[in-house]
Structure 1
Amino acid sequence: MPPRSVAARVLSVLDAVERASGPLQVTQIAARTGLPVATAWRMVRELTEWGGLEQQADGRYRLATRVWAIGSSAPCVRRIQRDTSRHIRELATATGRTAYLSVLDQDEALVVSLAHAGRGAPEVHEGSRLRADASSAGLLFSAFDGPDGNPVRDGRIAVHRDITGRSSMSAAITDKAGAVVAALTLAGGRGEAWQRLRPALVDAARTVRFSIYRDELLA
């Protein structure tokens, strides 16, 4: 068998991290790719410097923003965005609130699709980054990917209010294995009656999850 090219080795590292159910240590990446540990370290370091991988506080690695930016032009990603955008628009129309879908990226919630219905948080847009302590989506992600003690109630629902009067409620979206991979959010103002809007959000989150994982869930 001819030696693997540098490009093939780099792609094997990205593929291993993408297919994993969670972040990986370099030794795990080496085992999954068949690369020597020293080579895997070099590939991971270069990918991290480029922005394709990010290192967590515990030393493990996961995909980072640049891979998402490149992948967003892929037909499968465009299909997901198109399908979820329709459901997000319907949720915004039904509730009269800003609705958006976000994914975890570099310890922040990265907004990937949004519909604005005249109320909520118009400053949020596709590509916005929301800190874990500044949004319900961030709280939701940190509760399932970080330390215990985050204010998440009723399973996978989180509510956040800040001193400026903004508030939001998010519902977790999980993959087939049950890992939290995204959050669907409604944004509103001070004193928002989130309990009243919770059923609409939960129903929409189920629909969005089915749209994203339709093939897997029906298999």
Structure 2
Amino acid sequence: MADQLTAAGKTLAVLGTFTRERPSQSLSQIAKRTGLALSTTHRIVSELAAWGALERTADGDWHIGLRLWEVGSVCPRGQILREAALPFMQDLYEATHENIQLAVREGTEMVFVERIAGHRSVELRTMVGLRFPLLGTAMGMVLLAYAPSEIRDAVLAGPMDRHTPHTVTDARTLRSMLAQVRRATF
């Protein structure tokens, strides 16, 4: 499959090997995870490093560089929403001193675009830019409840992995809960 990718596809495959769980890795690990030849991986990693998208650590591993953060930080969808919501998030934080988070739905996942950590709350395990399944949190359930019906149907038809002891994994129960969320008024 890797040999059928375009140059852009191979580059994106290399970048896609980096995750929060795996923020740094060796060249051979990147090659293994992409299925690309080591020489091809070396060439792509070298080009990404020259541009600033990847940086080398003292022990020789690679991690995402600041240039990608710069590019990602201008994403208009997250930036516009963040700028509009941040004053209200700050007001809510000042009133409660609790964790305040903002996420957007992307397909069947949500992406956190801003957060304020409360000092009287449990420690947040989320980070700006983190993707998370909609079924894993109350916020995700609200986003799913108001998602287009084809998104709800996709989640209900797919595997529903348990993320916490309270994650609902039964389609009938979940459908009922989502309808209840849509009926609720605050």
Query: What is the TM-score normalised by the length of structure 2?
Result: 0.47
Query: What is the TM-score normalised by the length of structure 1?
Result: 0.41
Q: Specify which structure has the higher proportion of helix.
A: 2
Q: Specify which structure has the higher proportion of strand.
A: 1
